[in-house]
Amino acid sequence: MRPAHQDGSVNSEDLACVREPNTYRADIGASRFNLHEFYIRRLRRLFTAMLATVLLCCLLFAAVMPPPDFRQQAQSSAFAIASLANVYFYLKTGYFDTAAVFNPLLHLWSLGVEEQFYLVMPVVALALLRWARALFWPLLALAALASLIGAELIYDMVPFRAFELMIGGLIHPIAARVKPRAATADGLFALGLALIAVAVFTMDETTRIPGVAALVPCLGAALTIWTGAEALRTRRLLTSAPMLWIGMISYSLYLVHWPAVSFWRYLTSQEWTALDQAGVILASLAAAAVMHRFVETPFRHMPAGGGGGRWKANRGFVAGCALVAGLGIAPGVAERFRIGHDWEDMSGIAAFQGMTGAPAMRQASVSVAGGAMSVRRYTAAAPTSRVLLVGDSHAAVLSRGLARFLPGMGVSLDASIMPHCPPLVDAFAKSALPVNAVMEAECRARNAGLAGLVEAGGYDTVILAARWNNLVEPAPETGVPLSMNWMRPSDAPEGGKTLAESRAVLDTHLRRTLATIRATSARVVLMAQVPPPGRELGRCLHVIDPEIPGGRCQGLDKAVQKARAAWLHTFFSELADADPSVTVLRPLEAFCTGETCLEATEMGRLLYLDAHHMSEYGSVWFASWAIGQPAFRAALAGD
């Protein structure tokens, strides 16, 4: 599946996958190909500057990253140095993982793909040419076709990027045999630029890339590389001093551009402005020039010596790289920088009245009609009532706090959690991203089995929690819901994209969900959404003084938060007034007791994990408040 952190970056990576294999055509085209020298050249060409980037990022970001971010930075550094950044980000990308802009080494996933390709492909190619020469081209074509067909499955793995790399590798043998005339070359070059422009300006996060759509920028890049030298009208542009300089520093620019963006975001914690963009671009160009001059060039062109001297020089170079790389992946480096706010520090949490130790959680299966449904189970020693918590990632966070109180109160807790899936019978949260089709199908299946789960589990109370505002509140700048999310009935092919439609769907299906649950005689608790600060508070507060007047870390005031939740507040109140067995739990009453809403406790403990989820400490803090509400305690007891 394509990770969310890759949205918007696909075209540049597709172009790079085509361009890079062609830059090494001299190696393969040599009369005598030396595998050892090939790998040494790749090491000098790619590894030294990348290693310098990783180590500099470790030093630079230690001063601005909160500890959880820096620990993730240390882990990604180790994988990047091992040429496995793409594997790390594939395995680690999840719902609560650090946003793309706060991952300064995220862009190195594409370098990992390239390095793995160069590690494997030469050996495979040489083996085929030696023992199965007749099968060389058919097997490569078959591999490229298989890669293209399966490319939509995993965004950042080599097998599903191979067809792009192979397109780049084919440019040299084709160019050596076919040289178009100048007029034809000009036309093909213009066509290539047009294909690239189409990809840049028409493809977005809804485009299935990699996949067939990736052929557009890939073929465009291939055409421009193949015909660039023969196209007379473009030669002057391509050989101009500015273009040559940009090409010369392009690899260093690739390495430093995303850390520059990330560092700016940590320092400012704000959205882009035109001035910010210009500043980051200039800073990236300057850093790339320095990197190229003092790191990339000296190591890339280091004399290799002759005869035995060549091996000696190379051994020293490799040993030096290994030594410096070891410093970059040394275990425990992140633990030395536990400064500022710490989201994971749970010391002092025992001060909450009635709280018990972290309970043991186990996966359990509840048999329902047509199969079974999985739940996270926190069991009380002598349960007097059973509670089911159903919802999305906000419910997952809430479960961590409730699980520290309910078992000690004699209440067993089961949690049915599915990210991006509000608990609504016969409805689901639709996303514009086609790669989320599997998630949507799973959400529909979970919600379709909700009635059976409540009945089979024998629950006394059902808590419904979700990021409701994301689906029915207008975005401030457009007046419509977020473009990537809206409510849709399970049996409707279209609909729900407007604010009114989405609210109508929620109204209909939440009422249906309540009726379904109430038919089992279970009580219902509707938990409204935690007031979202709308910014990464932990990172913001780490480097910016929140006391500065007008500072970007200041939370939204209570009036703004109430206005944003006004429609849901009225709707939930109507549901509770119509049925006494429905209780509404409003986090706004806990977080917004004054003119501004809380973002941290008086002791400086952050209540938020990110722009809208509570931290684990915040979850326990809120659960402690909720337990103190008489209506909620009565609902838990099934009274």
- Say if CB 522 and CB 462 are below 8 A apart: yes
Q: What percent of the chain has pLDDT over 90?
A: 13
CB 446 within 8 A of CB 416: yes
Report pTM: 0.65
Distance CA 214, CA 150 (A): 12
Phi, psi dihedral angles at 596 (to 5 degrees): -120, 155
What CA–CA distance (Å, rounded) separates 169 from 211? 18
Report the range out of 185-199, 247-261, 266-280 with the highest average pLDDT: 247-261
Out of 261-270, 337-346, 376-385, least confident range = 337-346
Distance CA 50, CA 59 (A): 15
Residue 535 pLDDT grade (very low, low, confident, very high; cuts 50, 70, 90): low
State residue 419's pLDDT score.
83
Instruction: Give the pLDDT band of residue 584 (cuts 50, 70, 90).
Output: very high
**DSSP codes of every residue in 177-212:** H----HHHHHHHHHHHHHHHHHHHHH--TTS-TTTG
Dig out the tokens for 583 from the structure. 């209780």
Tell whether the model's pLDDT for residue 343 goes beyond 60: no
Q: List residues bridging with 463 in a β-sheet.
A: 389, 525
pLDDT of residue 95: 47
Determine how β-strand 523-527 pairs with β-strand 582-585.
parallel
Give the C-alpha separation, 323 to 329, whole Å: 10
Local confidence band at 269 (pLDDT 50, 70, 90 cut-offs): low
123 vs 26: CA distance, rounded Å:
17
pLDDT for the residue 2: 38
> Which of 139-143, 193-197, 448-452, 558-562 is the least confident region?
139-143
If pLDDT is split at 50, 70 and 90, which confidence band does 274 have? confident
User: Taking 90 as the threshold, does the pLDDT of residue 605 lie above it?
Assistant: no
Nearest CA-CA partner of 95 in 612, 622, 621, 481: 612
pLDDT-derived band at 268, boundaries 50, 70, 90:
confident
Q: 594 falls in which pLDDT band (50, 70, 90)?
A: confident
pLDDT value of position 235: 67
Work out the pLDDT band at 336, boundaries 50, 70, 90.
very low
Strand-pairing partners, residue 411, are 385
Q: What's the pLDDT at 389? A: 94
Radius of gyration of the chain (CA): 28
Longest alpha-carbon distance in the chain? 90
pLDDT higher for 207 or 508? Answer: 508
| C-alpha dihedral, 630 to 633 to 634 to 637, nearest 10° | -160
Q: Where are the domains of the chain?
A: 4-334, 349-636
pLDDT tens string 611-620:
788 888 889 9
Query: What are the Cα distances from residue 518, in Å, to 135, 370, 527?
Result: 66, 22, 17
Average pLDDT of the segment spanning 177-189 = 81
pLDDT in tens, 382-406: 788 899 999 988 999 999 899 888 8
Lowest mean pLDDT among 147-161, 287-301, 482-496, 514-528: 482-496
Which has more confidence, 59 or 98?
59
Find all residues with CB under 8 Å of 352, minimum gap 6, and list them: 404, 620, 621, 624
* pLDDT score, position 132: 80
Nearest-angstrom CA–CA distance, 7 and 117: 23
Q: Is the dihedral of CA 200, 201, 204, 209 positive or negative?
A: negative
> Per-residue DSSP letters for 127-149?
HHHHH-GGGHHHHHHHHHHHHHH
- What does the DSSP assignment read for 425-466? TTEEEEES-GGGHHHHHHHHHHHHTHHHHHHHHT-SEEEEE-
* Residues in Cβ contact with 566 at an 8 Å cutoff, skipping those fewer than 6 apart: none
Q: What is the CATH number of domain 349-636?
A: 3.40.50.1110
pLDDT of residue 308: 52
Q: What is the pLDDT of residue 623?
A: 92
pLDDT band at 115 (very low <50, low <70, confident <90, very high): confident
Chain centroid to CA 636: how far? 36
Greater model confidence, 324 or 155: 324
Per-residue confidence at 337, pLDDT binned at 50, 70, 90? very low
Return the pLDDT at 29: 46
Q: What percent of the chain has pLDDT over 70?
A: 67
Span 481-509, average pLDDT: 61
DSSP characters for 146-168? HHHHTTTT-TT-GGGTHHHHHHH
104 phi, psi to nearest 5 deg: -65, -20
